[in-house]
Structure 1
Amino acid sequence: MNVTARDNYHHGELRSALIAASDEIIRESGVEGFSLREAARRAGVSPGAPKHHFGSMVGLLTEVAIAAYAELARYMSDALVEDQTAAQRLQSVGSAYVKYALDNPGHFRLICRKDLVNRHHPDFEPAVYTAMTAFVLAAAEYYGSPFRPDLEQAAHPGIVSAVSTIHGIAHMAIEDKFSFVLKSENPEAELLGTLLPSMLSFHWPVTNPR
């Protein structure tokens, strides 16, 4: 992009261009392949532009992480079906969580990196909340717990365990840690179509014994 084109950027457009460029890099190369210089090059702006507009690499990657949570929220929302039980919803949105990680391993790794994301950004917690509400609501119903406990009351261990379980499965999936039990020529399809449903059914059976 030439100087004239760069100068025609409005402030918001330049920010959007840098976020889009960063998103593209993460999608292609993961966080390991990301640099402010490459983001600036792809956006067609000066190497100093990312720091000028976002303060640091963390500032820019936080915006990418917020957008990643919005995409995760779409995966979770699309997985919901009317008239499901709490267990069925847990299984559906749990599968969606793992599928998101497999489809977007770079972004999934990014949102897990506390050193690369500013969790105090005013839009970060709302993005996480929106993405995870369906799963936590289903877990709360499944375990007979309030969705948001009183300040004096700790979160139900079942809810914490459910979130930890699905996050752990997703992380293992993108690191290919299920290869020892996946024997097909398409292990990802086998994981999503066979192994994962059986695992989630084991964790949260439709007939809730609790």
Structure 2
Amino acid sequence: MSVTIRENYHHGELRSALIAASDEIIRESGVEGFSLREAARRAGVSPGAPKHHFGSIVGLLTEVAIAAYGQLARYLSDALVANQTAEQKLQSLGTAYVRYALDNPGHFRLICRKDLVNRHHPDFEPAVYSAMTGFVLTAAEYYGSTFPPETDQAVHPGIVAAVSTIHGIAHMAIEDKFSFVLGSDEPEAELLGTLLPSMLNFHWPVRDPQ
């Protein structure tokens, strides 16, 4: 659904309209298809309005990235069910992470772009933590560690490896890097239904109850 074009905005409404227009462009065309001029056109404001209100393309896209992390947080929180073991939770969360990337490739690429996102924005780090804390804590549980670690300890390498693994799989998925092992006319469905579960079970095998 297109952003509604209006001639007059209050200050907060204009910011929201520009963020919504930018979100729409990223969803349709990815970062490569984004421009401040197109965001302004869709919001129905002057070409200079985005820079005036956000300072730069980075300022505006940072707001889109913060919202993207909010959506990722919902994907991950919705993936969990009651009474799962740590390995089951890691597999569920990992699947949700990859599904988010496949459903939102433009936004996933955006949150990976340090040149287009201001990671020092006061709302950026809290958005990342809100999205990823559940996965990180589950990895800590799986590896028998704690997060955050004690002041004299480093983060458990298993936690770092877990985040790196699922992020790498998601990135490869949206770049269609698994096509060499997928022999289906519906590679995304096969990835989510067959290959990904086997990969995640390889990394975090579900143990038989004792």
Compute the TM-score of the two structures, normalised by the length of structure 2.
0.95
State the Cα distance separating 1:137 from its structure 2 match.
1.0
Q: Which amino acid aligns with 2:196?
A: L
State the Cα distance separating 1:153 from its structure 2 match.
1.3
Q: Is the 8 A contact 2:87 2:142 kept in 1?
A: yes
Q: Is the 8 A contact 2:59 2:117 kept in 1?
A: yes
CA distance in 2, matches of 1:81, 1:111: 27
Secondary structure at the counterpart of residue 46 of structure 1: coil
Q: Which amino acid aligns with 1:95?
A: T
CA-based RMSD: 1.1
Q: Provide structure 2 residue ranges, at least 5 long, that are not aligned to the other structure.
A: none
CA distance in 2, matches of 1:104, 1:176: 14
CA distance in 2, matches of 1:178, 1:14: 42
Q: Provide structure 1 residue ranges, at least 5 long, that are not aligned to the other structure.
A: none
Paired residue total: 204
Which position in structure 2 is the counterpart of 1:126? 126
Q: Is the 8 A contact 2:79 2:93 kept in 1?
A: yes
Secondary structure at the counterpart of residue 100 of structure 2: helix
Q: Which amino acid aligns with 2:40?
A: A
Q: Is the 8 A contact 2:184 2:190 kept in 1?
A: yes
CA distance in 2, matches of 1:134, 1:51: 35
Secondary structure at the counterpart of residue 160 of structure 1: helix
Matched, 1:207 2:207: yes
Q: Which runs of 4+ in 1 moved over 4 A?
A: none
State the Cα distance separating 1:152 from its structure 2 match.
2.4
CA distance in 1, matches of 2:50, 2:147: 39
Q: Is the 8 A contact 2:86 2:139 kept in 1?
A: yes
CA distance in 2, matches of 1:196, 1:77: 19
Which position in structure 2 is the counterpart of 1:189? 189
Which position in structure 2 is the counterpart of 1:11? 11
State the Cα distance separating 1:151 from its structure 2 match.
2.9
Secondary structure at the counterpart of residue 115 of structure 1: coil
CA distance in 2, matches of 1:114, 1:8: 33
State the Cα distance separating 1:6 from its structure 2 match.
5.1
Q: Is the 8 A contact 2:7 2:44 kept in 1?
A: no
